[in-house]
Each structure stands twice: as structure tokens, then as C-alpha cells.
Amino acid sequence: MTLPSALLLPKSAYTSQSWFEREQATIFENNWQFAGFTEDLPAPGDFLTVQAGRTSIMIIHGPDGELRAFHNMCRHRGTRLLRTCGKAGKAITCPYHDWSYDFKGNLIAVPQQKKNLPGWIKAN
């Protein structure tokens, strides 16, 4: 059995950058996405990361029992904070310049801030 060509995607659907971007924006970044099961994060500090279109998302189990999702990106220079899944210690520390965040997404430490380097922004 052959499908009518009107039902098939054009070849460009598999190679076109603009097709990819439209697909990401309209399907994967604009709709509900399955991230995992609550059983995957049973204890405080447990985390997983998922991709929602072109955006990496982290989900972490807080010390208060709440599961929270954040953009998986450091607010300093945009470095990805967490990879795959696992258990965070007492905070999430960026691998680039060691800025640290608590499990509610608050910036809690900027080690280089004490050096008073130009271009560094102060933590709130």
C-alpha cells in the first residue's frame, strides 16, 4: 500500500532549519510535555532535567517536599546548571564560576563577588 503524496511530509521537513524552528516553537515549546514521574524524585535534592523544545528544564525536589521546575540555566552567563538526573547536595552550584542557588531558585552565593571584579553583578 502506498500513501498518497498529499499525506507525506516534504523532504525539507527533515532538513530545513526553518521547519525545525517552527516545529520547536509550535509543538515542543508551546504544549504540555511529559517530564517524569513523581516517583523519580522521592527525596529532597533529587533532580532530573528534560528538554522542552530548545529549552533545558530542571525539576528538583525541595527540602519542603515541593517539586519545582526552572530553566536549567545560570543567570550569570547562561551555563547549563545540571545534567541528566541525580541528587544535588545542599545547593545547585554552577560549574563555570560557582554561583550557587537554593532549591527554590534563589541565588545564595557568588564566591568571586568578594574579589570586586569589573563586570560582576552583585547577588541580591
541528566: which residue's cell?
Answer: 84
Residue 77 as a binder of ligand FES (CB under 6 A): the answer is yes
- For residue 16, the one-letter residue type is S
Residue 96 as a binder of ligand FES (CB under 6 A): the answer is yes
**Residue 55: beta bridge partners?**
52
Residue 94 as a binder of ligand FES (CB under 6 A): the answer is yes
Which member of 68, 71, 80, 97 binds ligand FES (CB under 6 A)? 97
Please choose, out of 17-25, 29-37, 47-55, 89-97, the segment that lies near ligand FES by the rule CB under 6 A: 89-97
Residues with Cβ within 8 Å of 101's Cβ and at least 6 positions away in sequence, in order, are 81, 91, 92, 93, 94, 107, 108
The residue among 29 and 98 lying less far from ligand FES, judged by its C-beta, is: 98
